[in-house]
Amino acid sequence: MNYGTIKNVRQELLSDNWYLLYKYTYDYQREDGIWEQQVREVYDRGNGAAILLFNRPGKTVILTRQFRMPTYVNGNRDGMMIEVCAGLLDGDHPEDCIKKEVEEETGYEIGHVKKVFECYMSPGSVSEILHFFTGEYEPRMKTGSGGGVTTETENIEVLEYPFEQALEMVRTGQIRDAKTIMLLQYAAIHGLLEKPRS
């Protein structure tokens, strides 16, 4: 296999207990022309989608709160995280995936969503690309209680905050989830909750 400045790529499966953890050994050509062997581990959990649900007339956003074990073991005292709605694609188109996740997690059934960007969330160790969306919600779109899928051991609390309060929660450290911070800042930069110009 040859990837430009990469050659002799060897893949070894280390774990498939939850998702897939691979060890890659390869030769990498430095800028000075010298080839060196490198070893990296890559966690493959698939790609995902995330969405900021916002209500322009009320200037509010829908967020969720749930327990995240990796944050707990890394100093997050109770392990709880406030986040935008998100989920893995599991073979679905990103737009279809995020609409389904919104209904499962928040109880809102939304129609139109807008993709705003995509990015690698942790390119040093995780292969995931996350697709970012925004979507407007109204009270009439609430068709269920949300909370996640019981069979997937999800226990999700649905939260509604004034947009300015959510931004302040980023500043105070109450919101520390990267995808959530990125979408809130996108909304602030682009005036998402301001009245559209006539």
Spell out the domain ranges in the chain.
6-44, 48-189
pLDDT-derived band at 1, boundaries 50, 70, 90: very low
C-alpha count within 13 angstroms, C-beta hemisphere, residue 183: 31
137-186 per-position pLDDT tens digit: 999 999 887 776 555 556 899 999 999 999 999 999 999 999 999 999 99
115-135 per-position pLDDT tens digit: 999 999 999 999 999 999 999
Question: CATH code for 48-189?
Answer: 3.90.79.10
pTM of this prediction? 0.91
Q: What are phi and psi of 9, to 5 degrees?
A: -75, 125
What is the structure's pLDDT at 45?
94
The CA distances from residue 92 to 20, 83, 121, 129, in Å, are 19, 22, 19, 14
| Structure-token pair, residue 98 | 């995020």
What is the structure's pLDDT at 32?
87
| Structure-token pair, residue 148 | 């996640």
